Amino acid sequence: MADFTPGNRPNALARAWDSDIAWSFRHSPLAVIAAFVSILIILAAVFAPWIAPHDPFNPASLDLMDGFTPPMEPNAFTGNVYWLGTDNQGRDVFSTILYGARISLFVGFMAVLFAMVLGITLGLIAGYRGGWLDSLLMRVADVQLTFPSILLALLIFGVARGFIPPAYREAMAIWVLIVAIGLSDWVQYARVVRGATMVEKNKEYVQAARVIGAHPAKILIRHILPNVMGPVLVIATIGLALAIIAEATLSFLGVGVPSTQPSLGTLIRIGQGFLFSGEWWILLFPSITLLALALSVNLLGDWLRDALNPRLR
Amino acid sequence: MLTVSAVYAGSDMLAFILRRLVQSVIVMLTVALVAFALFRFVGDPIASMVGQETTLAERAEMREALGLNDPFVVQFAKFVTRAATGDFGISYRLQQPVMELILSRLPATLELALVSGVAAFVFGVGFGVYTALNRGNWLSGTIMTASLIGVSLPTFLIGVLLIWVFAVELQWLPSFGRGETVYIGNWWRTGLLTESGRASLILPAITLGLYQMTLIMRLVRAEMLEVLRTDYIKFARARGLSNRAVHFGHALKNTLVPVITITGLQLGSIIAFSIITETVFQWPGVGALFINSVRFVDVPVMAAYLMLIALVFVVINLIVDLLYYAVDPRLRVDRANTRH
Amino acid sequence: MFMMPNLRTARAGLMMGAAAAALVLTSVTADAETIRWARVGDALTMDPHSQNEGPTHTLNHHIYETLVGRADDGSLTQRLATDWGISEEDENVWVFTIREGVKFHDGSDMTVEDVVFSLDRARTPPSGMAALHAAVEEVTAVDDTTVHVRMSGPAPLYVQNLTNTFIMSKAWAEANGVETSPNFAAGEEAHSVRNTNGTGPYMLVERDPEVRTVLRAFEDHWADAPEVTEIIYTPITEAATRVAALLSGEVDIVQDVPVQDIARLEQTDGISVVRGPENRNIFFSYDMTSDSLASSNADGNPFASPEVREAMSLAIDRNAIQQVVMRGESQPSAAPLPPFVNGWTEDMHAFGDPDLARAGELMAEAGYPDGFSVQLDCPNDRYLNDESICQALVGMLARINIQVDLNAQTRSLHFPLIENWETDFYLLGWGVPTFDSQYVFDFLVHSREGSYGSFNGSRYSNPELDEKIQALATMTDLEERDALIAEIWDEVMEERIFLNVHNQVLAYAMRDGINLDVHPENQPRMTTVTFD
């Protein structure tokens, strides 16, 4: 714990810099690199429309004859040069990666958020209320685990296609994907939160809050939630990497975002078809981007886990 | 320890088992219901079953004959009553009894799952112990980071890259299939007893096991670090036991209980994840059968496969619960927090 | 019913390290030539009549035989029938002279009774072949070598429907309870699904569906012995794995070669590629009849406007699709039928360069100067690069302000959209097994009624044209008939019911030293394989 003498109040930034977490961060070069890489990719993705030289999602701007241009070489028909070459539709690989990372990250973040909100809510309720509600929710969690995540996502996707009118299918595909991935991941949050809630709810301060008539929801959010945020954050970080990979895997199984607006995973699935035909750049660059992104997020999750575990310090 | 608690658990144990069994049946029925409800949305089986010349009237007739027009409840009831006797009908696609089809493919998947599971366990524990005991050393840092690469790329890409390097470029290992197989008994076809069978197993097993290995390794490392800090270990050290004895005799032993539990629970997900691996390597197991069935909307096979997966999970869950109960009756059913 | 792997297949070897050795081995031993043949999917069944599906027929053609065969140029050849024609006494009757001295694999002789039995079995539901024999009224054996097929009216082209209808043994079928083709609803596996008794050049030795099927040459076959004496057939679903298996020497012939790999494989030492046109064209079509489109923001139905349809035909760049998407491996064409088919003309085939300026004017004339939006439904696992073709069209139509949302999905989800009229705009490929335009008209142009128009997703309905199409079926004067076909095509082309892209080109890749030609229906015969 940082030790401050009274009267010497540092500003928030300095306080954060001096905190345990920050100290651990500064002394873990791997975490620093990982954070740098993730932030770089995230920023590049967020600002893709301003950074990317082309808009690969605008079909009118594409020239099919630009297709299969090797990196840094002029196209045989059009003479255009692209840093990282073009894919089978004449899309600039560099721009497509930026836009694709945007989709992948969006799917990843939203899926994690969805799983987190659902898992925390159910976990809090199950842990606080206990009894039959708890049993029911945990049985549901068991059934949920019985359905392996890929299968679940596959089936949810199928159902959504049945429900959604044809005209909205393309627009809805990304949301269906988010729900499918998120829904297969909530159990972890629920279990952790439930366990912690069961411990916390018997502590004196919670009992005290209950005695003075605080609303259960207030108790849960004010007192219990902050105590479980550490492990939840760890699960969420690793969950983000998992969700991005899951999106890629689903794309391989033919379930995912439309190929006119490809994610990183879709790009890799497309590029995989060109492994033996000589157009290596269509596979290589998106793969490296995905690897860098998932690896650095995983490393951050790793570091966070160690940093938040007081016994390992 | 097991026998002691078994004795003092007594008839309690029986009630517990019964309750658990009933719950398992409910879980199975729920899975069946959910799965069955979903099938009507994955496509129209008739479209894949008939040639382009078939008239619309004939298609409608066929739909009727297959019972696809029956109300959902009727279809589901039919399915459950027949499934209870092990009859899952005939595959729309391959025209064979589904049960026989799945049983003939199951050995391939089980062998792949088992080999990759064992390999993941052995390497996972080995690396986990090493990285825990050598925290901060550069090699364990490298292992920790490198193992993450395996979970930072999609499985299908890892598989395709392995084929490219080891089958096409180096020509060391086969790119697809199970190689030569021989029968053990009447129906279990194994590739483990032939040279080509074993060679064929290597790449798919790596592809499938990489993820589990990383998981186990991290778990072992974390558990080891925790155990090494307990008073129990400090006491063992104080007693003057050698490092070796402390690490392997005490620390690892205490680590393994949760690790084995989680590995057991992972077996089911290995079988499920084998869908991807089997597709990439044309491995003739139930996963590839399932994904081909999805493409064809072969509902009987899809239903049977999901029930099989559900059964595997339920059985594993049941065994784990029983083990926990036997080890410590006070735990009752609450093992939630040890599961990740 | 799996058989133990035998020594010979063991020697053929799936072991990688032995690939080079196996190569030497097979080319030295002249008496035992094994071909390891891979393609994307397996035959669905070994039953000769249950499924009317390409890969099923392809494998069954090795085990069973048909009355007439189809040569690589599309013409008919003798097989179990040595002669055929319309009866001189009755124009409703087809007469077939059956080959003598043909034996089934179980050693029994093939008789006219077997032919009658097989044709009856094929035309009786739940046979998948029934639709091709819908006009048959009765099949009778006249003498030991002659079979009469009586039709409900004159059917000058009926023999074209027989190239995939196999002859099986009546006695064997009765002994094994498979007098009719297997019924899914019955819930039992039929004997004929994994067991065979045909007259074909190969016998079924081992059948492990979707894993491996082994065939061995039938010594008592009536024709000359083929050079290939053993076939090991393995489906490999993943394109990359399939190509890898050929590159690593684990298979000898790959039938479904991804177009992007063709050029690279050709340059690879020890591998050669043959290519040839397939009897299948790929086209777009649209709902040109409904009042409005479900997936469009436009008022009314833009596809109903002839100007819009013409604008689309001016926006599509078929040559670019051929060069980039298909890597040169297709025949761009505006004709909605392959050149093999009777009725095809050079005029229909020809198309000009894209003209975006004119297309824009037409869009404005039609009342859509700012374009409109619409969803394009596309299969992603049925035709060569189907999804990429659709994607390319999205870009081309965007240039004339038609904003297309692409909905690419698996075939079992795609085709019901056309069948149920749930798509506004779709891609379809059409093979013409009868090699005659009537087949195209029946399914794609005629109004949807009865057995007609089941794939007419355009909802196009023209009673006058329907009458002409129906007349084709019974016309015996072939010259007159061809004139009527040309007339119908004029109307269809004028209306722009189809926006054709190209004809598919097939490519088979194989290790050097193997010679195999491309079959127009993508049904290669291992009997035609020769070795250098």
Give per-residue pLDDT as tens, A35-77. 999 999 999 999 999 999 999 988 888 888 888 899 988 888 8
- Is residue C213's pLDDT more than 70? yes
Arithmetic mean of pLDDT, C219-241: 93
Q: Is residue A283 part of a domain?
A: yes
- Residue A109 has what pLDDT? 95
- Name the residue range of residue A148's domain: 28-54+69-312
pLDDT band at B134 (very low <50, low <70, confident <90, very high): confident
- Residue A33 has what pLDDT? 92
Q: Is residue A21 part of a domain?
A: no
CA-to-CA distance for C32 and B304, rounded, in angstroms? 42
- Is residue C287's pLDDT more than 90? yes
The most confident of the ranges A129-143, A250-264, C68-82 is: C68-82
The most confident of the ranges B292-301, C8-17, C108-117 is: C108-117
CA-to-CA distance for C29 and C20, rounded, in angstroms? 15
B49 close contact with C: CB closer than 8 A? yes
Give per-residue pLDDT as tens, C339-374. 989 999 999 999 999 999 999 999 999 999 999 999
CA-to-CA distance for C361 and C371, rounded, in angstroms? 11
C391 close contact with A: CB closer than 8 A? yes
- Residue B8 has what pLDDT? 45
- Residue C511 has what pLDDT? 93
pLDDT band at C510 (very low <50, low <70, confident <90, very high): very high
CA-to-CA distance for A203 and A208, rounded, in angstroms? 9
**Which two three-digit tokens encode residue A122?**
């159910």
- Residue B334 has what pLDDT? 44
The alpha carbon of residue B264 is apart from the nearest alpha carbon of chain C, in Å, by 30
Contacts of A254 in chain B (CB under 8 A): 295
Contacts of B306 in chain A (CB under 8 A): 147, 151
- Is residue C461's pLDDT more than 90? yes
pLDDT band at B336 (very low <50, low <70, confident <90, very high): very low
B109 close contact with C: CB closer than 8 A? no
Residue C428: enclosing H or E segment and its boundaries?
strand C425-431
- Is residue C14's pLDDT more than 50? no
Q: Which of B5-9, B38-42, C412-416, C522-526 has the lowest mean pLDDT?
A: B5-9
- Say if the Cβ atoms of C324 and A67 lie within 8 Å: yes
Backbone φ and ψ for C284, nearest 5 degrees, come out as -105, 150
- Residue C186 has what pLDDT? 61
Nearest Cβ partner for B175 among C17, C209, C245: C245
Share of chain B above pLDDT 90, in %: 19
- Is residue A17's pLDDT more than 90? no
- DSSP H helical ranges for C202-305: 239-247, 259-267
pLDDT band at C1 (very low <50, low <70, confident <90, very high): very low
Cα distances (angstroms) measured from residue A76 to each of B304, C239, C329: 53, 27, 18
CA-to-CA distance for A29 and A300, rounded, in angstroms? 11
- Is residue C267's pLDDT more than 70? yes
Residue C202: enclosing H or E segment and its boundaries?
strand C202-208
- Is residue A4's pLDDT more than 60? no
**Total number of domains in chain A:** 1
- Say if the Cβ atoms of C380 and A254 lie within 8 Å: yes
CB proximity under 8 Å: A 147-206 to C: 161, 165-167, 169-171
- C479: CB partners within 8 A, 6+ apart: none
Give per-residue pLDDT as tens, C478-489. 899 999 999 999
pLDDT band at C18 (very low <50, low <70, confident <90, very high): very low
Mean predicted lDDT score pLDDT of chain A: 83
**Strand-pair category, C34-39 with C253-254:** parallel
Q: Which of C381, C394, C411, C427 to mutate to test the interface with A (most CBs of A within 10 A)?
A: C394
Q: Which of B22-36, B320-334, C406-420 has the lowest mean pLDDT?
A: B320-334
Residues B295 and C410 sit within 8 Å (Cβ to Cβ): yes
What is the residue whose two structure tokens read 């025209």?
B95
Residues B287 and B279 sit within 8 Å (Cβ to Cβ): yes
Domain with CATH 1.10.3720.10 in chain B: 101-295
Residues A69 and A82 sit within 8 Å (Cβ to Cβ): yes
The most confident of the ranges A230-234, B91-95, B323-327, C471-475 is: C471-475
pLDDT band at C136 (very low <50, low <70, confident <90, very high): very high
Q: Is residue A10 part of a domain?
A: no
- Is residue B335's pLDDT more than 50? no
B101-295 belongs to CATH 1.10.3720.10: yes
Give per-residue pLDDT as tens, B211-240. 889 888 888 888 888 777 777 777 777 777
- Residue A264 has what pLDDT? 92
Rounded to 10 deg, the angle between the A93-129 and A29-46 helix axes is 110
- DSSP H helical ranges for C18-99: 19-28, 54-63
C144: amino acid identity, one letter: D
Cis-peptide into C126, omega within 30 deg: yes
CA-to-CA distance for C406 and C388, rounded, in angstroms? 11
Nearest Cβ partner for B282 among C19, C238, C455: C238
B51 close contact with C: CB closer than 8 A? yes
The residue among C37 and B12 whose pLDDT is bigger is C37
* Closest-approach residue (CA) in chain C for A157: C409
Arithmetic mean of pLDDT, B9-18: 71
- Say if the Cβ atoms of B89 and C249 lie within 8 Å: no
Arithmetic mean of pLDDT, C246-259: 93
A49 close contact with C: CB closer than 8 A? no
Give per-residue pLDDT as tens, C40-89. 888 888 999 988 888 899 999 999 999 999 888 888 999 999 999 999 99
Mean predicted lDDT score pLDDT of chain B: 80
Which residues are bridge partners to C506 per DSSP? C276
User: What three-state secondary structure class fits A152?
Assistant: helix
- Residue C496 has what pLDDT? 95
CA-to-CA distance for C54 and C56, rounded, in angstroms? 5
Size of interface A-B (CB pairs under 8 A): 121
- Is residue B329's pLDDT more than 60? no
A274 close contact with C: CB closer than 8 A? yes
Q: Is residue A1 part of a domain?
A: no
pLDDT band at C187 (very low <50, low <70, confident <90, very high): low
User: What three-state secondary structure class fits C364?
Assistant: helix
- Is residue C20's pLDDT more than 60? no
- Residue C499 has what pLDDT? 96
- Say if the Cβ atoms of B44 and C19 lie within 8 Å: no
- Residue A16 has what pLDDT? 64
CA-to-CA distance for A107 and A263, rounded, in angstroms? 9
What string of H, E and C letters represents the secondary structure of chain B? Answer: CHHHHHHHHCHHHHHHHHHHHHHHHHHHHHHHHHHHHHHCCCCCHHHHHCCCCCCHHHHHHHHHHCCCCCCHHHHHHHHHHHHHCCCCCECCCCCCEHHHHHHHHHHHHHHHHHHHHHHHHHHHHHHHHHHHHCCCCHHHHHHHHHHHHHHCCCHHHHHHHHHHHHHHHCCCCCCCCCCCCEEECCCEEECCCCHHHHHHHHHHHHHHHHHHHHHHHHHHHHHHHHHHCCHHHHHHHHCCCCHHHHHHHHHHHHHHHHHHHHHHHHHHHHHHHHHHHHHHHCCCCHHHHHHHHHHHCCHHHHHHHHHHHHHHHHHHHHHHHHHHHHHCHHHCCCCHHHCC
Cα distances (angstroms) measured from residue C65 to each of C166, C177, C516: 5, 21, 20
Give the ipTM of the model, two decimals please. 0.84
User: Whose CA is closest to A189, among B259, B340, B223, B211?
Assistant: B340
B149 close contact with A: CB closer than 8 A? yes
Nearest Cβ partner for B157 among A272, A298, A311: A272
- Residue B26 has what pLDDT? 83
Backbone φ and ψ for B297, nearest 5 degrees, come out as 55, 45
CATH code of the domain in which A276 resides: 1.10.3720.10
Residues C169 and C104 sit within 8 Å (Cβ to Cβ): yes
- Residue A42 has what pLDDT? 94
pTM of the model: 0.86
Mean predicted lDDT score pLDDT of chain C: 89
Residue C467: enclosing H or E segment and its boundaries?
helix C463-472
CA-to-CA distance for A71 and A97, rounded, in angstroms? 14
- Residue C266 has what pLDDT? 92
